[in-house]
Amino acid sequence: MLYAGFMSAAPPPFPTPQEPVARPELLQLDTALEGDEPCLRADAARNRARLLEAAGRLVAERGAEAVTMEAVAAEACVGKGTVFRRFGDRTGLLTALLDHSEKKFQAAFLTGPPPLGPGAPPVERLRAFGCAMLRRSADDLELQLAAEPGASRRFVAPARRVLRHHIEMLLRQAVPEADCDLLSHALMGQLDPALIHHLTRQCGIPLARLEAAWIDLVDRVTGAGTTCP
């Protein structure tokens, strides 16, 4: 496996970028038990879709801050307990709203066309990866900020771990002599939604400047040139 060389304290292995992701990496808190009847599983799926549609309407009409368990229950005309059973807590609900976007992005860098997907040199893929993440965060910024886990879970959230391990894998290919484990955390910091919000919304820095800064950072870390992806 690609990540078998990690330190023993590292989390379990993840798929290599050449392998498709067989299951969503985001938490699915309402997954049906294997022994459930098909009709019960179908009902659970319909109920989940109904709740997500209600949450999506709230985001579209009032913004991500308006999405609470109580508000979603009222919008969907169900009891609050139903929402908690399906998603666990507000972070789980908001994470589920981001699920489609997350899976689409994962598919792009794991199996999509180069330079974001396999087939391009690792430095080109790193450049493309960061720029794509910046654009995606700009599109879903409020929702990503609202879904951000607390400090104790931020760095172990499954989706974030997939993204960081991908950066680490590309760094190992580009600069195998470096401490790619810690470097991957440093590079992920440049793509943090809270930082993107501060720079774009509070400082007025255009997204194109953040993309250029990402490319410059990758090139300095890897010792590469400055050709844009």
Q: What are the pLDDT digits (tens) for 17-34? A: 343 333 333 333 333 333
Q: Which of 81, 98, 91, 85 is nearest to 25 (CA)?
A: 98
With 0-12 CB in 10 A as exposed, 13-18 as middle and 19+ as buried, what is 203? Answer: exposed
Q: What pLDDT is stored for residue 145 in this prediction?
A: 86
CATH for 54: 1.10.10.60
- C-alpha 75/C-alpha 77 separation (Å) is 6
| Structural domains counted in the chain | 2
Residues 6 or more apart whose CB falls under 8 angstroms from that of 210 comprise 134, 196, 199, 200
Q: What is the DSSP letter of 228?
A: -
48 and 141 in a single domain? The answer is no
Q: Which has more pLDDT, 123 or 44?
A: 123
Query: Are residues 217 and 113 both part of a single domain?
Result: yes
Domain of 67, in residue numbers: 38-89
Integer Rg of the chain from CA = 19
> Is residue 106 domain-shared with residue 194, that is, in the same domain?
yes
Asked if residue 74 and residue 115 are part of one domain, the reply reads: no
Q: Is 10 left (phi over 0), alpha (psi -120 to 50) or beta?
A: beta
Residue-wise pLDDT for 114-130, tens only, equals 999 999 999 999 999 99
Q: Is residue 154 part of a domain?
A: yes
Same domain (yes/no): 111, 198: yes
Q: Residue 221 above 50 pLDDT?
A: yes
pLDDT interval class at 177 (50, 70, 90): very high
190 plus 129 within the same structural domain = yes
Q: What single DSSP character describes residue 200?
A: I
Helices 69-76 & 90-97 angle (0-180, nearest 10): 60
Left, alpha or beta for 16 (phi > 0: left; psi -120 to 50: alpha)? beta
